[in-house]
Amino acid sequence: MMGLVGRFVGEKLMITVSTVKRVFFCLAVFCYCWQAASVSAYPLTDAQKARLEKLIPRTFAKMQKNEPIHILTLGDSVTEMFTPVPETNHNYLNAYHVKFAELLCREFFYPAGVRLLNPAKGQKDKVNSFRGGEIVIENFGVGGRTSLDALQRITTDAFLNEPDLMVIQYGINDAMMGMSSDVYRRSLQFSIDECRKRGVDVILLAPTMVRVSLGPIEWGITRGHAVMARELAAKNGVFFMDMGQVTARTSGVGEEDLDAKDAIRVVSDKIGKKFEFPGAPKEFLHPNLPAHAEMGKALYDELMNGEPPELFRIQSRATFKSPDTVEVTMTLKNGGETDQIGVLGALTSRRVLVPTEESAYQSYHLEPGKSATFTFIYKRSNTAARGNAAPRFMSLDPGESQLQFSFLSADADGSRVLDVTPVLEPVAVTWKEGQQVGVKDGVRLDWRFVNGQDRPVKGNYEINLGGRKASGKFEIQAKGQKDFFAEFPINEKDEVVRFKEEVVLRVSVGGKSFVFHREIEATRDLFLGEKMALSHTEYYTAGARGLRTVKLDKEAVYLRADADQEALYLTFDFEGIQLLKTANGVSVMVDLAIDARPAPETREFGFVDRLRIELGSADGPGVVKFSKMGLFGNGYDRLLSSSGVKTLLKTKGDASKKLEIRVPRIYLYRHPWKLGQDGQVLGLKAVVSLSAVGSDPSQPAIFTANRRWSLADSGFHFRDARSLLTLNLGKKTAGVSSWSVRLY
């Protein structure tokens, strides 16, 4: 009997312990959820409900019902959560978008919190193990990418898991590389449009500040892209958040006796603390963990409640004083009820215009309702001078119709960025950038004169393309604009297959002369069965001007393209070239880009990636490397294996080398492939790099410009489909050749 009693008591005790465990677990979850829900002001105010219903309608509707939410993030290394500390590198759980989503979880009662759909290798997918409703984040951030790369994911796998909300942040690499405003705007607009088609909510973020040694104050390089992102968000009615403004916020200067220069330096150093990692090398680009937490909270706060009120009402003017100088006047009006006492620091305008040391730092003391005007002088930066080692893909001209200027403002309460976008006076120029295809008669250059003044402006212009000139007069009404164009014939010579020319537009207004620059590249179209020489990069770039004929040295590279219903065949002949042995076995690198989108997409604005082939000095196959999505143009959404591309290096009878590449037709599945018919074209680009290592095979491969050849090499980004030459999928017939012309 006692045994039965003991057994009964034991069973009861076991039941009790199990029940207690469950109770404690439920209490823990309840406490977490109660605490989480009480952190924010739930239930929402009517104003907050109206904001969320307007800005993120799909996501808000699901959050109100506690339905699962899927957020997808597109961006660069900041979104990818790069840190120089291995323990935290690529741990997405520390990223700003996760911190933002955690606050949404608290507000809308998602007890399981945030779960990562694709954590980096070796990283966790959740902070806790709670069960229940959750918000899922799919991170598509990739280091080093620009806004153009958004097209790769937007047209392939971004919508595969049916996201409710897409968070987009690009701009750092666009600014560092000098990508044009046109590419940035078009890429983001394309992304927004694709989201809208599918009913996906969009949050558009400005890039963070980055510390680059350009000008007296180092933080300005991304502000131009921040302003463009704001304008684009307003145009499309999507929620915008200025992450650059968040990283610029500090506790202020604190000491009233500091002069403007010292005060701005104090603020600059405080901003720099947001990029410091204990025990790691000095950072200038990637925010640290506390900064990510601050960014996530700011994103949540502004989504719920809007931006903080502006301290000033601002007016500005920009006057083109000389080909290298722009004067900016900015008027601040104190719209508050207390005195505003602080300092201003002028930031670099993109990579083009740098404020002079003498004008960069200024102080202000404004009583309520009072105004003050400040003057800043900007000079063309050395890196923006033609012929110097300027960043690629940039407009090297300070004379855009709308320039962007930013100023770091600080007082005892804190710091912030002030942005202005004045129209340039007396006249500015907007170019019609892009590619003209099928050109036979000549090059047409289109531009627009913009009058930034409150009165009519008139003057003369002369446009010069490689020594060929056109001129005329213009008169434009106050704040008006007018379009102009000029046509120049292409000098047809059998040996000319591509050339670059500088475009110089000289304008005279009121006795003063202003100069506006661009550049064109023209490439003769290639046909099947035709053998075409590549241009030696050392001769074709580095700021050289004038008509570039094919003057081949002892070393030369030729390309021939062929096709049938099974494949595209590319053959490279290396004439007079010795392939040198290297320690890692890579003597030849071929970067190949093929735009195989159907007409009319082919060669138009879009994403195309490069396929890389690495070969040794001996005969045999090479190693093929490429990304699995979007390789042959945006929209190529099937996973492709690099093993399907066949390569073979051969030795010919004269001891020279030949490389054969076979790209299977099935890989180019979006193209109709109607060989020989009109309009059947591909975009094509090839860069051949040979190792410059000497006779010592123990040395690693070194690839330099003096052993590099290109089929095309424009100022467009290499992933921009407009940078490619035209390959006609038919045989060349007698008659006038056709060209592709790129203005950038």
pLDDT at 545: 38
Q: What is the mean pLDDT of the chain?
A: 87
Helix%, strand%, coil% for the chain, nearest 5: 25, 35, 40
The pLDDT value given to residue 401:
62
Q: Rounded to the nearest 10 degrees, how much is the dihedral formed by the CA atoms of 428, 433, 437, 441?
A: 20
Residue that has been written with the tokens 């030459």 in this structure: 725
Question: CA gyration radius for the chain?
Answer: 30
Domains of the chain: 33-305 (3.40.50.1110), 312-425 (2.60.40.10), 433-522 (2.60.40.10), 525-743 (2.60.40.1190)
Q: What does residue 301 show for φ and ψ, rounded to 5 degrees?
A: -60, -45
Q: How confident is the model at residue 649, as a pLDDT?
A: 97
- Mean pLDDT (whole number) for 644-667: 95
* Cα–Cα distance for residue pair 260/248, rounded to 1 Å: 17
Q: Are 469 and 439 in contact (CB under 8 A)?
A: no
The pLDDT value recorded for residue 418 is: 97
Tokens of 424: 């340039």
Distance CA 417, CA 244 (A): 8
**The pLDDT of residue 734:** 72
Q: Which two tokens stand for residue 139?
A: 């991170």
* Percent of the chain's residues with pLDDT above 70: 88
Q: Are 709 and 574 in contact (CB under 8 A)?
A: no
Distance CA 150, CA 154 (A): 6
Please provide residue 147's backbone torsions phi and psi, each rounded to the nearest 5 degrees: -60, -30
pLDDT, tens digit, 9 for 90 and up, residues 675-710: 999 889 999 999 999 988 655 666 677 888 788 999
Q: Which of 336-340, 534-538, 595-599 has the highest mean pLDDT?
A: 595-599
Task: Give the confidence band of 293 by pLDDT, cuts at 50, 70, 90.
Answer: very high
- Mapping DSSP to helix (H, G, I), strand (E, B) and coil, where does residue 354 land? strand
Tell me the pLDDT tens digit for each residue of 124-168.
998 887 878 899 999 999 999 999 999 999 999 999 999 999 999
Chain Cα centroid distance, residue 485: 30
Amino acid sitting at position 492: E
Q: Model confidence over 459-513: pLDDT tens digits?
A: 999 999 988 999 999 999 999 999 999 999 886 665 778 888 889 999 999 888 8
| Cβ atoms within 10 Å, residue 315 | 14
Among 298-302, 394-398, 545-549, the range scoring the smallest mean pLDDT is: 545-549
Q: Tell whether omega for the bond before 111 is within 30 degrees of 0, i.e. cis.
A: no
pLDDT of 128 reads: 81
Q: 130, 150, 126, 148: which is closest to 140 by C-alpha?
A: 150
CA distance 424 to 454: 12
Sheet containing 69-75: give its strands across: 113-116, 134-141, 69-75, 165-169, 201-206, 239-242
The whole-angstrom separation of Cα 124 and Cα 521 is 49
Q: Which residue has the higher pLDDT, 495 or 220?
A: 220
Helix axes 57-64, 46-55, angle to 10 degrees: 130
d(CA 401, CA 604): 25
For residue 632 the two structure tokens come to: 């042959």
Amino acid at 599: A
What's the pLDDT band for 352 if we cut at 50, 70, 90? confident
Cβ-based neighbours of 468, under 8 Å, separated by 6 or more? 488, 489
What pLDDT shows up at residue 609? 95
Q: Which residues contact 563 (CB under 8 A, 6 or more apart)?
A: 528, 569, 675, 729
Helix (H) or strand (E) holding 353: strand 353-355
In terms of pLDDT, which residue wins out, 628 or 43?
43
**Sign of the CA dihedral with 213 first, then 215, 218, and 221 last:** negative
Q: Is 468 helix (H, G, I), strand (E, B) or coil?
A: strand
What 3-state DSSP class applies to 283?
coil
Among 252-266, 419-433, 630-644, which is the least confidently predicted range? 252-266
Sequence-distant (6+) residues with CB within 8 A of 333 are 312, 313, 314, 315, 366, 369, 370, 371
Torsion of CA 674, 680, 685, 688, to 10 degrees: 50
Q: Which helix (H) or strand (E) holds 657?
A: strand 657-664
Q: What is the dihedral of CA 264, 265, 269, 270, to 10 degrees?
A: -30
Q: Which residues contact 296 (CB under 8 A, 6 or more apart)?
A: 95, 96, 97, 98, 99, 100, 102, 103
Q: Above 60 in pLDDT, residue 385?
A: no
Name 52's bridge partners: none
Q: What is the pLDDT of residue 180?
A: 83
Q: How far, in Å, CA of 176 to CA of 693, rounded?
A: 30
Tokens of residue 637, six digits: 């959404």
**Mean pLDDT for the stretch of residues 106-126:** 92
* β 405-411/415-420 pair status: antiparallel
pLDDT grade, residue 647 (50/70/90)? Answer: very high
Please give the angle made by the CA atoms of 76, 309 and 164, to the nearest 5 degrees.
Answer: 40
Identify the sign of the CA torsion 101, 102, 103, 108: positive
- Read off the tokens for 66: 């506690």
Please report, as a single letter, which amino acid is at residue 412: A
- What is the residue whose two structure tokens read 């892209």? 225
> pLDDT > 90: what percent of the chain?
65
What is the token pair recorded at 231? 């304008």
Report, as an integer, the average pLDDT of 587-591.
95
Model pLDDT, residue 693:
66
- Kind and range of the H or E run holding 560: strand 556-563
- What phi and psi, each to the nearest 5 degrees, are found at residue 295? -65, -40
- Whether this prediction's pTM lies above 0.85 is answered by yes
pLDDT tens track for 297-318: 999 999 999 998 888 999 999 9
* Per-residue confidence (pLDDT) for residue 696, from 0 to 100: 64
What was the pLDDT predicted at 423? 84
Whole-number Å distance between alpha carbons of 406 and 221 = 10
Is the model's pLDDT at 672 over the cut of 70?
yes
Amino acid at 444: R
The per-residue pLDDT for 273 is 95
CA distance 706 to 729: 32
Q: Specify whether the CB–CB gap between 452 and 426 falls below 8 A.
A: yes
How sure is the predictor about 737, in pLDDT bands with cuts at 50, 70 and 90? confident
Which residue, 380, 401, 386, is CA-closest to 500? Answer: 386
CA distances in angstroms from 250 to 275, 573, 663, 698, listed in the order given: 13, 60, 55, 52
Tokens representing 441?
């008669």
**Rounded CA separation 308/449 (Å):** 37
Distance CA 70, CA 114 (A): 10
Phi, psi of 46 (to 5 degrees): -60, -35
Handedness of CA 53, 56, 58, 63 (dihedral sign): negative
Position 719 scores a pLDDT of 93
Nearest to 165 by CA among 145, 192, 189: 192
End-to-end CA distance of the chain: 97
Q: How confident is the model at residue 21 (pLDDT cuts 50, 70, 90)?
A: very low
pLDDT value of residue 19: 42
